[in-house]
Amino acid sequence: MAVNNKLVFLLPILIAVYSNQCLGSESPVLEMLDKDVLNKITLLTDSVSKCNDIAESSELELDLNKFRTLNVSKETFLKSLFYLRMRNRDMCDSQERGTLIFAIGQLDFTRAELGLKASKYGNSSGQLLYEPKKFLQYKIDYMNLTEDVRFEFERQVGTQPFVYTTILQNLNLNIFDK
């Protein structure tokens, strides 16, 4: 009976040590998960390129008079347009970013189960997932606009990515100074 108690006590330790040695950093499971992360990085890279192409081909034309009649200031217009640029860009590649974050999380979870430190990708998942404080402030400012102003922005800008500086070059922002 005493031998059985010792075995019951030692068995989880032996299994953990054995599995760590059998499933070390070169295990087929980790290799598969590493390849999955690399594939997801490639998919995200392709998606970012596609989104950049969409943004650069955007022919967004905005009617500033409509914003002026809604009493939108120049500063509010610029900040809102910048927020929409960031939001639209993020929406464009969000699915691929999400699958990459999940793949990194799965890899790091499995590495932790094996007693290994996080992968080299672990720190980047937070940067892929979370928005910077400045973006969140622009979002709050945008959401605090009146419903009719937000509706007009959504109607004119839409959800496609665009290049902020290109749009600004094509606008006569002096209309807000009148």
- Tens of pLDDT along 107-152? 999 999 999 999 988 888 777 778 889 999 999 999 999 999 999 9
Instruction: Give me the pLDDT at residue 131, please.
Output: 86
Residue 98 within any structural domain of the chain: yes
**How many CB atoms are closer than 10 A to CB 170?**
11
pLDDT digits (tens, 9 = 90+) for 4-44: 444 445 444 434 444 444 445 568 999 999 999 999 999 99
Instruction: Give me the pLDDT at residue 153, please.
Output: 98
Instruction: Give me the pLDDT at residue 170, please.
Output: 85
Instruction: Give me the pLDDT at residue 172, please.
Output: 85
**How many CB atoms are closer than 10 A to CB 85?**
20
Residue 56 within any structural domain of the chain: yes
Residue 45 within any structural domain of the chain: yes
Residue 1 within any structural domain of the chain: no
Instruction: Give me the pLDDT at residue 123, please.
Output: 80
Report the C-alpha gap between 83 and 157 in whole angstroms. Answer: 11
Residue type present at position 166: T
How many domains are contained in the chain? 1
By residue range, what is the domain housing residue 102? 27-177
Reported as type and span, the H/E element at residue 144 is none
Residue 9 within any structural domain of the chain: no
Q: Tell me how far the alpha carbon of residue 142 is from its chain's centroid.
A: 19
C-alpha R_g of the chain: 25
Residue 13 within any structural domain of the chain: no
Environment class of residue 177 by beta-carbon count within 10 Å: exposed (0-12), middle (13-18) or buried (19+)?
A: exposed
Residue 7 within any structural domain of the chain: no
Instruction: Give me the pLDDT at residue 6, please.
Output: 47
| Mean pLDDT score of the chain | 86
Residue 46 within any structural domain of the chain: yes
